[in-house]
Amino acid sequence: MILVYAIVTFFVLLIGGPILLGVARLLGIYTIVRERRCHVYMLFGQVIGTIDEPGLCFLWPRLGWRALLIAGFGKCHVIDLRLDQEYLRSAPVNSEEGAPMGIGIWYEMYISDPVAYLFKNSDPRGSLAANVSNSTVRCLSNLPLARMLIDRHSMSKTVRDEVTPKSHEWGYKLGSIYIRKVHFRDPEMIRQIESKVVNRLRQVTAAIKQDGINQVSIITSTAERQAAVEFGKAAAVRPAIVGKAMAEISADPEIASALFELLETQRIVESGANLTLIQGQSTANDLMTGLLASIPGNESAAAPAKPPVKR
């Protein structure tokens, strides 16, 4: 029996709980507000209350008896209060020099006044974007081109100061505004600037290359000059060194004779002349015989004389 009661109680709570909570919401007893959301309650065309505190909220202490009529005769607007962002591309402006420029501006915003957001402007988000774009064109036109290209922080602050008061009237509050991109809108001007940049880069590259060649030339000429000086010093010192060595060699006649004989032999070998090696002879007659034998085709002279045959 207890088990039957438990099962019946479970199904009653399972089915009856949601039904009971739904009836409570229809009667306007309570509501649940999510994080960064705002509930705006309207009855008979009038705003009777707003709730922006997240969590479980009881409506009767806040709205009174009118909470009973919200479900049947009123309306609840749920407004998203989370931070949002927008990026506007290529807002057309002209520089002080007359160059057609485009500016891309990024900004973030959130709803600060839900009632004003609902009723003071039919399209507050579009109006805010138009206001930012118009303020960008109005505040940043006729600025010097150099400032427009580099000074983005002050330009962002100028646009923000211009847009913030008006946007707050529509229930929006601006956060950060940042100019992300500044570019040329005329293709012909872009090509001319690219051509100038390319030519300038070529000039700089050529100047760097020529400077390198000049540096190498200076280093090479300096090295050659120093080498020539050192060779000159060596040429001036060489006779003294050779003379001193020759004096030391000449002090010993045997060494001097061997040295000069060796030098003479080396010069003869290096000259490439034909050499005739003659066996050592004791007399002038033998010397002539040896010389005649060295002549090609005169082998008979080289043959030793045969002793006469005795008969």
| Domains of the chain (ranges, CATH numbers) | 1-80 (no CATH), 84-190 (3.30.479.30)
pLDDT at 286: 66
Q: What percent of the chain has pLDDT over 90?
A: 20
Amino acid at 110: Y
Tell me the three state secondary structure of residue 181. strand
Which contiguous run of DSSP H or E holds residue 119? helix 114-119
Instruction: Please write down the HEC assignment for all residues of 50-102.
Output: EECCCEEEECHHHHHHHHHHHHHHEEEEEEECCCEEEEEEEEEEECCCCCEEE
Residue with tokens 């030519």: 199
- Among 126, 192, 193, 132, residue whose Cα is nearest residue 163: 132
Confidence band of 209 (pLDDT split at 50, 70, 90): very high
pLDDT at 99: 83
Instruction: List, for residues 164-196, the tens digit of each pLDDT value.
Output: 887 888 888 888 888 888 888 888 888 888 899
Roughly how many angstroms between the first and final C-alpha of the chain, as a whole number?
Answer: 175
The mean per-residue pLDDT over the stretch 90-100 comes to 85
Instruction: List, for residues 68-81, the tens digit of each pLDDT value.
Output: 888 888 889 999 99
Bigger pLDDT: 145 vs 223:
223
Confidence band of 298 (pLDDT split at 50, 70, 90): low
Instruction: Please write down the HEC assignment for all residues of 208-270.
Output: HHHHHHHHHHHHHHHHHHHHHHHHHHHHHHHHHHHHHHHHHHHCCHHHHHHHHHHHHHHHHHH
Alpha carbon distances (Å) from 52 to 34, 67, 221, 239, 282: 9, 17, 84, 109, 141
Contact 162, 133 (CB under 8 A): no
pTM beyond 0.75: no
The mean per-residue pLDDT over the stretch 251-259 comes to 88
Residue 175, phi then psi, degrees to nearest 5: -100, -120
Residue 256, phi then psi, degrees to nearest 5: -65, -40
Q: Is the pLDDT of residue 311 over 50?
A: no
Confidence band of 203 (pLDDT split at 50, 70, 90): very high
Report the distance separating Cα 96 and Cα 305, nearest Å.
123
The mean per-residue pLDDT over the stretch 252-261 comes to 88
Instruction: List, for residues 101-149, the tens digit of each pLDDT value.
Output: 888 889 998 998 899 888 888 888 888 888 888 888 888 888 888 888 8
> In the Cβ-directed half-sphere of 263, how many Cα atoms lie within 13 Å?
6
Alpha carbon distances (Å) from 140 to 94, 102, 212: 8, 11, 45
Report the distance separating Cα 163 and Cα 131, nearest Å.
7
